[in-house]
Structure 1
Amino acid sequence: MSFKRSDLYPCNPATTRGESTKLGSNSDKIVYTNGRAVVIRDLKNPAAVTTYSGHVQNTTVARISPSGYYCASADITGTVRVWDIAGEDQALKGEYKVISGTVKDLEWDGESKRIVAVGDGRDKFGHAFMMDSGSSTGEIIGHSKVINAVSIRGQRPFRAATASDDATIVFHQGAPYKYEKTIKTHTKFVQDVRYSPSGDHFASVGSDAKIFLYDGKTGETLGEITDSPHSGSIMACSWSPDNTALVTSAADRTVKLWDVETRKALTTWTLGSTVHDQQVGSTWTAGDDIVSLSMSGALNVFDRRVGDKPARVLLGPQKSITAAVALPSASTFLAGSADGRILSRTYSDAGAESYAQLEGEGHAALVSGIAASAEGKAFSIGFDDKLREIEGSGFVPAVCPTSSQPKSVAVGPDSTVFVAEASGVEAIRSNQRVFELNPKFAPSAVAATETLVAIGGEDQKVRLYAWDGKALAESATLEGNKGTVSALAFSPDGSLLAAGDSSGKIVLFDIKEKKTVTTRWSFHSARIHSLAWTADGQHCASGSLDTHVYVWSVQKPMRNIAIKNAGPGGVSAVLWAGDGRLASAGADGCVRTWDITFHA
């Protein structure tokens, strides 16, 4: 048995209300951060996605060098890592501790040799250094509060402009960089500052909803753009590749396109009416795609030549994926995340760019489980103590509250849903509770077939119950696990049951004989989060908190496929997306697929 890495479906950028989120671009690629991951995706080739997980702490900003060979990414501890994106191995070029707090922004110079990183440090707010050695290339001084943004002139003589919460912009000469002057044009926080590609001008935007233009060489203020102003904080700006236009993204939920020469508004795009539609980041790619980031994480891609709406909207999880399931009737899977959202995606189309948002009201808290019926319906549970039904492209309006916090969900015959909760197990049909079991043990996982329901407990045992459509009757107890039973899965024909636990051990049981088949599926070193069987019932995949995915063989229990480090931060869900295609999802919000080959 062997595996090969296949498609990767990325997460979307993380956002924070009231703060600017920095997006970077190089050629047709955009780069952004979410959690500890750095994501590089190609807008012209959706299948070309790269993720980097070398940071120990949450990342805040990433920029690709002008040469296109390296990426510099920074995190909340003030660490900048420079790594190779030209090769497959993502070799680390250097790691530098630049400030003593969160890095808010960083920028490369035009020669891809020097980097300026700025943010919220205790002793200083910015640092200029060589990318290959980390040695200092000047001083970033002149601010009294956190620096939100930095931009460097791409041509010699180099200049650097920094924007801060102290409502000032500091203009530096370089390199080496040294203080030149303080520019006091804004009256509130300055959120972003960007140089034009030609280096002739730079622009600044701020919480005072104002836009200013400056001379790129001298830092002289050229004037303010006052035509058709924004009505809220402007969070980001970006220049067109031809230097003639500027785009701004604001908290008033609009994106505006400006002609630099006439200082007039050319186009205004309005996105939605909620807090989630506030625009907090932007970048303009060399391929002439304007990308603006919504608070919800949606990447809105505009074409400046056509339309009053985004040409396309790229959706994706913003938080950890906590549950996922494949729908049997279509080449689609559902992914639920820690913020309560559930998104759908078709996995058979390698060219697909984006997830789709389910219609209707979803969960208000973490999605703790999703299960699908043979008819194609899906049922989800969340920490908002609700069971929701998903049919087609949206949620069914009717909602069934659960008696206590739900932990696991399974679907039996006639779309009867079994929910393992903190206080017991409920059987629910058509949003009506038809049976409630209150066992002496604490339930932790559930699985179901046509006639049997398996309930795992925190007492390390699995109980089998017969289901007659009205009540559960206990028929057997299976033992062998060494920790809380955390995942259960029946084989498609119902003859075998895999039980994973919090110690990383998986026990395979024969249901008819009520005995153990093997206890040798024990290579995981942490909690088993998910189990998934192949259609023929000969192989079972497991995903664990230890970041690994294993594919086990029933006929040869000692043989397995080990996909090491399949999900940075831990794997929370595995599912079979067709014959020989395995998908795994987890803490970094990304879904990775693997082509599995079963040798005879």
Structure 2
Amino acid sequence: MSFKRAGIFSPNPLTTRGVSTKLSAQKDKIVYTNGKVVIIRDLNNPASSTAYTEHVKDPTVARISPSGYYCASADISGTVRVWDTVGEDRTLKGEYKVIGGRINDIAWDGESKRIIAVGDGKEKFGHAFMMDTGTSSGEIIGHSKAVNAVSIRQQRPFRAATAGDDSSIIFHQGVPYKYDKVIKTHTKFVQDVRYDNTGDRFASVGSDSKVFLYDGKTGDTLGEITDSPHKGSIMACSWSPDSSSLVTSSADCTVKLWDVETKKGITTWTIGSGVSHQQVGNVWSGSENIVSLSMSSDLNIFDRRANSDKPTRVIQGPQKSITSITPSKDSGTFLAGSTDGRILSFSTATSESDSVDGEGHTNLVSGLATSPDGTVYSIAYDDKVKEIVATGQSFTDASATLSSQPRSVAVASDSTVFVTEIKSIEAFRSNQKIHTHQPKYSPHAVAASGVLVAIGGDDQKVHLYQWDGKALKETTVLDGNKGTVSALAFSPDSKYIASGDSTGRVCLFDVQEKKLVTSRWSFHSARVNSLSWTSESRHCASGSLDTHVYVWSVERPMKNIAIKNAGPGGVNVVLWTSEDAKTSKLVSGGADGCLRVWEVTFHA
């Protein structure tokens, strides 16, 4: 058995209300951060996207060098890492502690040699340094409050502009970079500042809803764009590749395209209304595509050639950790839930995802299960069980209230939904509670096959129950685990059940003979969170808090595939999505919000 990487489902950018989220681009790829991950996302081929996970603290901004060979990413601790974008090793070029606090923005010079990082430091708000040695290349001074943005003129003579919460723009000459003058055009926080590609001009936007243009060499103010202004804070701006147009994104839920020479508006796109549609970041990708980020984390793509007041495409994805997963009726899709209550449908064909429509959950989605007819049931920490149509596109109106916080969910052959809670097991059918079972142990994991229901508890045992449509009747207790049973899965042929526990052990039981087959699937070093079987019931995959995924063989119990560090921060879910005679695709996801696809080959 062997494996290789086959793709990735990337999370969308992490957003914070009232804070500008910095996006950057190189050709058709956009770069952003989410949690502890830096994402380089290919808009045309999402499966080939890159996830960089080497930061100890949460990264806040990342930008690829003009040469395209390196990426600089910065985090909340004031550390900048410069790493290689070519190849799969992501070789570290250098790591530098530049300020004593959060870095809000970074910028490369046109020679891909120097970097300026700005943010909210304790002793200073910015630092200029060489990318290969970390030595200083000037000083960034003049601000009295946190700096939100920085931009460097890409041509010699180099210049740099920084913008901050003190309503000021500081213009620097270089190199080495040194203070030249302060520009006081804005009356509130300056959220973004950007040089155009020719170096002739730079623009600034702020919370005062104003847009200003400046001379790129002298820093002199050229004027304000006042035609049909935004009605809310402007969070980001970006220049077109030919430097003739400027795009701005605002908290008033609009994106505006401006003609710089005439200072007139060309197009206004209205995204929607409400906080979730506030625009908090943007970047120009390629020659015609504009990408603007909604507060909800949706990436809205506009084509300036299209005669439309709506996005030509919207990229949706998880914003927080993946916590649950289940197959869809359509073999080419699956559903996954996250800690922020969102459930998304993922397509293995396009490597893209869409949010499930309708009134969903408001808290962590702790479980998903698919019924024989394809209907999906979800449970969450809002103490609700909800129903999703078989196509996976929308929630139905069906909803039931649980007695306490749910842990796991499974569906029997008669579409009865079983939910394990802190002290009880509840059964629902047609949106109505029909049975409550209160065992002597605390139930955790649940799985169902036909009318057989398995419950794993804190007593380190697997309890098998027979479901007669009205009540659960315990028939067998399977013993072999050494910790709280945290994951259960029946094999598709119903012959076996695999049980993972809090110590990292996975036990395999024969259901018909009611005996332990093997307890040697014990290579995990932390809690097993998820189990998934291949369709022929010969292999089982396990995902664990220890960040690893293992693929086990029933016929050869001592043989396994170890996918090390499959999910930084811990693997919460695993699922087989497609199979043929020799290879199968396995999806794993977890704390970093990424869903990684692995192509597993089973050798004869």
**TM more than 0.5:** yes
Q: Check the 8 A contact 2:367/2:378 in 1, yes or no.
A: yes
Letter in 1 for 2:345: S
Letter in 2 for 1:455: I
Q: Check the 8 A contact 1:314/1:353 in 2, yes or no.
A: no
Partner of 1:464: 464
- Within 1, Cα distance between the matches of 2:324 and 2:44? 30
Partner of 2:316: 315
- Within 2, Cα distance between the matches of 1:243 and 1:453? 64
Letter in 1 for 2:272: G
Q: Check the 8 A contact 2:60/2:103 in 1, yes or no.
A: yes
The number of residue pairs the alignment matches comes to 597
Q: How far does residue 480 in structure 1 lie from its aligned partner after superposition?
A: 1.4
- Within 2, Cα distance between the matches of 1:373 and 1:533? 16
Letter in 2 for 1:164: G
Partner of 2:591: 587
| 2:394 is the counterpart of 1:394 | yes
Partner of 2:106: 106
Task: Give SS of 1:228's match.
Answer: coil
- Within 2, Cα distance between the matches of 1:260 and 1:223? 10
Write out per-residue CA displacement over residues 67-91 of structure 1, whole angstroms, 9 at most, x where no aligned residue: 0000000110001000000122100
Q: How far does residue 198 in structure 1 lie from its aligned partner after superposition?
A: 0.4
Alignment of 1:110-259 (within 5 A): 110-259=110-259
Write out per-residue CA displacement over residues 406-452 of structure 1, whole angstroms, 9 at most, x where no aligned residue: 00000101211110011200111111111110111111111111121
- Within 1, Cα distance between the matches of 2:12 and 2:363? 19
Partner of 1:450: 450
Partner of 1:355: 353
Gap change, CA 1:329 and 1:315, over 3 Å in 2 = closer
- Within 1, Cα distance between the matches of 2:189 and 2:396? 44
Partner of 1:324: 325
- Within 2, Cα distance between the matches of 1:353 and 1:563? 21
- Within 1, Cα distance between the matches of 2:229 and 2:213? 15
Write out per-residue CA displacement over residues 350-386 of structure 1, whole angstroms, 9 at most, x where no aligned residue: xx25311211111000000001112111100000000
Unaligned runs of 5+ in 2: none
- Within 1, Cα distance between the matches of 2:45 and 2:513? 52
Partner of 1:514: 514
**Out of 594, 597, 601, which is 1:597 matched to?**
601
Task: Give SS of 2:46's match.
Answer: coil
- Within 2, Cα distance between the matches of 1:454 and 1:282? 49
Q: How far does residue 29 in structure 1 lie from its aligned partner after superposition?
A: 1.2
- Within 1, Cα distance between the matches of 2:490 and 2:352? 32
Gap change, CA 1:267 and 1:134, over 3 Å in 2 = same
- Within 2, Cα distance between the matches of 1:527 and 1:15? 30
- Within 1, Cα distance between the matches of 2:16 and 2:62? 16
Alignment of 1:554-565 (within 5 A): 554-565=554-565
Alignment of 1:295-306 (within 5 A): 295-306=295-306
Task: Give SS of 1:414's match.
Answer: coil
Task: Give SS of 2:110's match.
Answer: coil
Q: Check the 8 A contact 1:325/1:333 in 2, yes or no.
A: yes
Task: Give SS of 1:47's match.
Answer: helix
Letter in 1 for 2:597: T
- Within 2, Cα distance between the matches of 1:143 and 1:205? 17
Q: How far does residue 511 in structure 1 lie from its aligned partner after superposition?
A: 1.3
Alignment of 1:10-49 (within 5 A): 10-49=10-49
Deviates more, 1:471-480 or 1:334-343: 471-480
Task: Give SS of 1:482's match.
Answer: coil
- Within 1, Cα distance between the matches of 2:81 and 2:184? 33
Write out per-residue CA displacement over residues 543-568 of structure 1, whole angstroms, 9 at most, x where no aligned residue: 01111110000111100011111111
- Within 1, Cα distance between the matches of 2:347 and 2:168? 48
- Within 2, Cα distance between the matches of 1:226 and 1:561? 62
Q: Check the 8 A contact 1:329/1:375 in 2, yes or no.
A: no
Q: How far does residue 186 in structure 1 lie from its aligned partner after superposition?
A: 0.3
Write out per-residue CA displacement over residues 238-279 of structure 1, whole angstroms, 9 at most, x where no aligned residue: 000001100000000000000000000100000011211000
Write out per-residue CA displacement over residues 174-204 of structure 1, whole angstroms, 9 at most, x where no aligned residue: 0110000000000000000000000000000
Q: Check the 8 A contact 1:84/1:93 in 2, yes or no.
A: yes
Q: How far does residue 44 in structure 1 lie from its aligned partner after superposition?
A: 3.0
Partner of 2:413: 413
Q: Check the 8 A contact 1:369/1:408 in 2, yes or no.
A: yes
RMSD of aligned residue pairs (Cα, Å): 0.9
Task: Give SS of 1:276's match.
Answer: helix
Letter in 1 for 2:167: A
Q: How far does residue 317 in structure 1 lie from its aligned partner after superposition?
A: 0.3
Q: Check the 8 A contact 2:288/2:305 in 1, yes or no.
A: no
Letter in 1 for 2:534: T
Partner of 1:377: 375
- Within 1, Cα distance between the matches of 2:525 and 2:212? 56
- Within 2, Cα distance between the matches of 1:593 and 1:515? 34
Deviates more, 1:33-42 or 1:280-289: 280-289
Q: Give identity over the alignment, percent.
A: 67
Partner of 1:572: 572
Task: Give SS of 1:208's match.
Answer: coil
Q: How far does residue 328 in structure 1 lie from its aligned partner after superposition?
A: 4.0
- Within 1, Cα distance between the matches of 2:301 and 2:188? 29
Unaligned runs of 5+ in 1: none
- Within 1, Cα distance between the matches of 2:227 and 2:8? 43
- Within 2, Cα distance between the matches of 1:77 and 1:573? 30
Partner of 1:96: 96
Q: How far does residue 228 in structure 1 lie from its aligned partner after superposition?
A: 0.3
- Within 2, Cα distance between the matches of 1:95 and 1:586? 27
State the TM-score, normalizing by the size of structure 2. Answer: 0.98
| 2:67 is the counterpart of 1:63 | no
- Within 1, Cα distance between the matches of 2:90 and 2:413? 48
Task: Give SS of 2:414's match.
Answer: helix
Task: Give SS of 2:118's match.
Answer: strand
Task: Give SS of 2:504's match.
Answer: coil
Structure 1 stretches of 4+ moved >6 Å? none
- Within 1, Cα distance between the matches of 2:309 and 2:330? 36
Task: Give SS of 2:276's match.
Answer: helix
Task: Give SS of 1:323's match.
Answer: strand
- Within 1, Cα distance between the matches of 2:244 and 2:177? 28
Partner of 1:83: 83
Q: Check the 8 A contact 2:9/2:46 in 1, yes or no.
A: no
Partner of 1:340: 341
Partner of 2:366: 368
- Within 2, Cα distance between the matches of 1:326 and 1:286? 35
